[in-house]
Structure 1
Amino acid sequence: MSDQSREFDVIVFGATGFVGELTAEYLAQNAPLGTRIALAGRSESKLSELRKRLPAAAERWPLIVADADSPSSLDAMVARTRVIATTVGPYLKYGEALVGAAASAGTDYIDLTGEVPFVRYAIDKVDEVARVTGARIVPSCGFDSIPSDIGVWTLYRKITDDGAGELTATTNVVTKMRGGASGGTVDSMRVITGLARDPEARKVLMNPQALSSGPGDMPQAHRSSEPSDMPIISAETVDPSLKGTLGPFFMASYNTRIVRRSNFLLDGAYGKDFRYGEAMALGKNKLVGRVAAAGVSAAVGALFTGLAFKPTRRVLDRILPKPGEGPSEESRNKGFFELQAFTRTTTGKRYRSITAASGDPGYKATAMMFGESALALALDREDLPERYGVLTPASAMGDALAKRLRAAGMKIEADVLG
Structure 2
Amino acid sequence: MGTDREFDIVLYGATGFVGKLTAAYLAKSGADARIALAGRSEDKVLAVRESLGEAAQSWPIITADASQPSTLNAMAARTQVVVTTVGPYLKYGLPLVAACAAAGTDYADLTGEALFIRESIDLYHKQAIDTGARIVHSCGFDSIPSDLTAFALFRRAERDNAGQLTDTNLVVRTFAGGVSGGTIASMMELMRAASSDPEARRVMNDPYTLTPDRTAEPELGGQPDMRWRRGVEISPELEGYWVGPFVMAAANTRIVRRSNALLEYAYGRKFEYAEQMSVGRSFVAPVTAAVGAAANGAIMSLGSRYFDRLPAKLVERVAPKPGTGPSERTRERGHYTVETYTTTTTGSRYRATMSQKGDPGYKATSVLLGESGLALAFDRDRLSDLRGVLTPAAAMGDALLARFPAAQVSLETTRLN
AA of the residue aligned to 1:174? V
Q: Secondary structure at the match of 2:235?
A: coil
Is 2:315 the counterpart of 1:291?
no
Q: Secondary structure at the match of 2:38?
A: strand
* 2:277 counterpart residue number: 280
* 1:235 counterpart residue number: 231
* Distance in 2, Cα, partners of 1:47 & 1:302: 41
Percent identical across equivalent pairs? 51
TM superposition shift of 1:7: 0.3
* 1:414 counterpart residue number: 413
Measured at CA, do residues 299 and 222 of structure 1 come closer, stay the same or move farther in structure 2, by a change above 3 Å?
Answer: farther
1:256 aligned residue (253, 258, 270): 253
1:92 aligned residue (90, 94, 98): 90
Measured at CA, do residues 55 and 302 of structure 1 come closer, stay the same or move farther in structure 2, by a change above 3 Å?
Answer: farther
CA contact (8 A) 1:109 1:137 kept: yes
* Distance in 1, Cα, partners of 2:326 & 2:78: 33
> What CA deviation, in whole Å up to 9, does each residue of 1:157-205 have, x standing for no partner?
0011001111111000001111111000000111111122211101110
* Distance in 2, Cα, partners of 1:290 & 1:363: 30
CA contact (8 A) 1:126 1:390 kept: yes
* 2:333 counterpart residue number: 334
* Distance in 2, Cα, partners of 1:88 & 1:395: 23
Measured at CA, do residues 42 and 90 of structure 1 come closer, stay the same or move farther in structure 2, by a change above 3 Å?
Answer: same
* Distance in 2, Cα, partners of 1:406 & 1:310: 48
TM superposition shift of 1:255: 0.2
Deviates more, 1:380-389 or 1:141-150: 380-389
* Distance in 1, Cα, partners of 2:253 & 2:404: 21
CA contact (8 A) 2:171 2:278 kept: yes
* Distance in 2, Cα, partners of 1:406 & 1:134: 29
Q: Secondary structure at the match of 1:362?
A: helix
TM superposition shift of 1:270: 0.5
Measured at CA, do residues 139 and 301 of structure 1 come closer, stay the same or move farther in structure 2, by a change above 3 Å?
Answer: same
AA of the residue aligned to 1:228? P
Q: Secondary structure at the match of 2:243?
A: strand
AA of the residue aligned to 1:207? D
* 2:387 counterpart residue number: 388
> What CA deviation, in whole Å up to 9, does each residue of 1:240-262 have, x standing for no partner?
11032110000000000000000
Aligned runs of 1:184-195 on 2, under 5 Å?
A: 184-195=182-193
AA of the residue aligned to 2:145? P
* 1:82 counterpart residue number: 80
CA contact (8 A) 2:191 2:303 kept: no
* 2:398 counterpart residue number: 399
Q: Secondary structure at the match of 1:284?
A: coil
TM superposition shift of 1:224: 7.1
Deviates more, 1:220-229 or 1:257-266: 220-229
* 1:13 counterpart residue number: 12
TM superposition shift of 1:296: 2.1
* 1:42 counterpart residue number: 40
* Distance in 2, Cα, partners of 1:403 & 1:68: 34
Aligned runs of 1:72-151 on 2, under 5 Å?
A: 72-151=70-149
Q: Secondary structure at the match of 1:112?
A: coil
CA contact (8 A) 1:3 1:378 kept: no
TM superposition shift of 1:297: 2.8
Gaps of 5+ in 2: none
Is 2:338 the counterpart of 1:357?
no
* Distance in 2, Cα, partners of 1:311 & 1:199: 18
